[in-house]
Amino acid sequence: MIGRYSSTMYAVKCTTKIRDELVASAADMSISRKGNYTSGHSSTVFSSDTSDVQEFLEIHLPNLIYQPLIFISSLVYLSLIDWQFLLLVSFIVPLSSYAVQKISKPIERGTKESQRVFGSANSMVGDLYYGVKEIKNYNLASYWIERYKHLAEKVLIKQLAVSRSRSWIRGVTVAVQSIPFIICLYFGGQRVLQGEMRVEDLLIFIYLLNYLVQPITVIQSAAAQIQITRAAVSRIFDMIATVPEQGNKQVRKAIESNPTVNFNNVTFSYENGAEVTKSGSFIANKGSITALCGASGSGKSSIFNLLCGFIQPQSGKIQIAGRSITETSIEDYRNSIAIVTQEQFLIPGTIKDNIALGDPDASDKEIIEAAIIAGADEFIQSLPYSYDTQIQERGKNLSGGQMQRLAIARAYLKKAPVLLLDEPSSALDAQSEASLWAALAKMKERMAIIVITHHLSMLRHVDQVLYLNKGKLHQGKDLEGLKMKEVNGTMILPSGEGMNI
């Protein structure tokens, strides 16, 4: 009882530690590395794989420790009684061990493949919830069900193959348990009748034989579980062993003087060789709004990721508040940047909780002030519980404009010198867009704002326009200035007010 309790405690503590490491690894993982894992794969590793490890540590590892001790003790005692008879009885053991080894080899491979497909199936279930509107609108329900059934059938086939191997191992185990006893009774009885062995020795032999055979069967069962655990541990360590984002351990004090953003001679290309920017440069000062525009796929979001330090340039330097990501810690560098993305990130909790993510130590007064600046206070006050209203999963009880105002309030509360917005008006109506620009006009007094957009109509609100085209960053004070600019005799922007590019 004490041993079982101890092994359970050890297994639970180890598994908890593994899950803590997985969460820490996921938080520290680079954006590019995180793209290699689907949400289904990650959830499978967090749940199924860690459970497999816990089962092994709780049940099979203790058996691998004390069952060999029982086996050795029984072997020594039985050899003292009659070592020749012991050899006769135990010849089946090496044969069964060899059979188990052969049968258990496909288990690890089958388990890995099964969990991979299971992760894909989990991702489909998640997509079914997150993309329910698109699935219904495009009448994809039948298609989705068939795809899931196909994956579920593949999981079933893989799991049946693993179960078949484990069943064979159980069959071998039964043989290992029964054959030595049959041999013992048959030949032992003959030896007693011939006077070569005492009856009491045969009874002791039969009794202790169980302690010789049982450890072998238990160890063989554990051997099959080892293959499953190895596959689980391989996936766990694949996630844990990722190299975290690199920065400087030293913290360098932020510089409040301009330029707040200095994007200096930066070159960045994708792995396939496509250039995002080649020796691109621009500055953004406190009190200004800079628009970054360009065609879809031109690399605007990559510039966003470069500014945030999510990816690193091949050459050049990016300084925020006078510091690059290599000159200060990653955390300190990102403390100087607030972001508002296309898909608003909201956590389960109250509206106040979500705004407070910008500064967990902020007072209620500061939270309300941020909401007022962002134009969110009016709609918050109209809610049943005001700032204590619970937000449903993924903000289902809020409109797109309301979620964005909460995100802007959170960004304002962070008090960062730089605010980055990625396509802020892509899903807003005219009234919400007007509220957005009114909020940004108030916020720019204490920060530099960079807005990524492909809507030319928005550029009338900004102080500086950047146009990203074929790896080149073109600059102008306004839209008309860019339209008039020529590069190698070619107009870099087409004429036409309000065009989308």
pTM, 2 dp: 0.66
| Distance in angstroms (rounded) separating the CA atoms of residues 307 and 329 | 15
Name the strands in the sheet holding 289-294, side by side, starting at the edge strand that comes first in the sequence: 337-340, 418-422, 448-452, 289-294, 464-469, 472-476
Return the bridge partners of 497, or none: none
Does residue 454 belong to any structural domain of this protein? Answer: no
pLDDT band for 500, please (50, 70, 90 cuts). very low
Task: Inform me whether the pLDDT recorded for 495 exceeds 60.
Answer: no
pLDDT band for 218, please (50, 70, 90 cuts). confident
Which stretches within 29-140 are classed as H helix? 31-34, 39-44, 50-55, 61-90, 92-130, 132-137
Residue 440: per-residue pLDDT: 79
Which stretches within 241-329 are classed as H helix? 300-308
Does residue 22 belong to any structural domain of this protein? Answer: yes
Average pLDDT of the chain?
76
pLDDT tens, 335-385?
A: 888 888 877 778 778 889 888 888 888 898 999 998 898 888 888 899 888
- Contact (Cβ atoms closer than 8 angstroms) between residue 52 and residue 114: no
DSSP 8-state assignment for residue 358? G
Which CATH number covers residue 127?
1.20.1560.10
Residue 50: per-residue pLDDT: 81
Higher pLDDT, 480 or 36: 36
Does residue 62 belong to any structural domain of this protein? Answer: yes
Please give the tally of structural domains in the chain.
1
DSSP 8-state assignment for residue 320? E
Stretch among 133-142, 170-179, 327-336, 451-460 having the lowest mean pLDDT: 133-142
Task: Inform me whether the pLDDT recorded for 139 exceeds 80.
Answer: no
- The pLDDT of 458-479, averaged and rounded, is 76
Does residue 469 belong to any structural domain of this protein? Answer: no
| Distance in angstroms (rounded) separating the CA atoms of residues 364 and 302 | 36
DSSP 8-state assignment for residue 45? I
- Contact (Cβ atoms closer than 8 angstroms) between residue 314 and residue 267: yes
Instruction: Give whichever of 28-42, 212-226, 289-303, 472-486 has the largest mean pLDDT.
Output: 289-303
Residue 271: per-residue pLDDT: 72
| Distance in angstroms (rounded) separating the CA atoms of residues 457 and 465 | 12
Question: In whole angstroms, what separates CA 440 from the centre of its chain?
Answer: 33
pLDDT band for 496, please (50, 70, 90 cuts). very low
Higher pLDDT, 209 or 384: 384
CA angle 134, 138, 141 (to 5 degrees): 85
Percent of the chain exceeding pLDDT 70 equals: 72
Does residue 356 belong to any structural domain of this protein? Answer: no
- The pLDDT of 154-176, averaged and rounded, is 72
Q: How many CB atoms sit inside 10 A of residue 182's CB?
A: 11
Residue 491: per-residue pLDDT: 46
Higher pLDDT, 366 or 196: 366
Residue 497: per-residue pLDDT: 39
Greatest Cα-to-Cα distance within the chain, rounded to the nearest angstrom: 115
Higher pLDDT, 288 or 110: 288
Question: In whole angstroms, what separates CA 483 from the centre of its chain?
Answer: 43
Does residue 68 belong to any structural domain of this protein? Answer: yes
What is the secondary structure of 255-279 as a DSSP string?
A: --SSPSEEEEEEEEE-TTS-EEEEE
| Distance in angstroms (rounded) separating the CA atoms of residues 349 and 370 | 18
Tokens 């600046």 locate to: 373
Residue 102: per-residue pLDDT: 64
* Nearest in space to 421 (alpha carbons), one of 296, 319, 290: 290
- The pLDDT of 28-55, averaged and rounded, is 72
Structural domain range at position 210: 2-240
Does residue 319 belong to any structural domain of this protein? Answer: no
Beta-strand pair 448-452/289-294 = parallel
Residue 92: per-residue pLDDT: 63
Does residue 26 belong to any structural domain of this protein? Answer: yes
Higher pLDDT, 392 or 175: 392
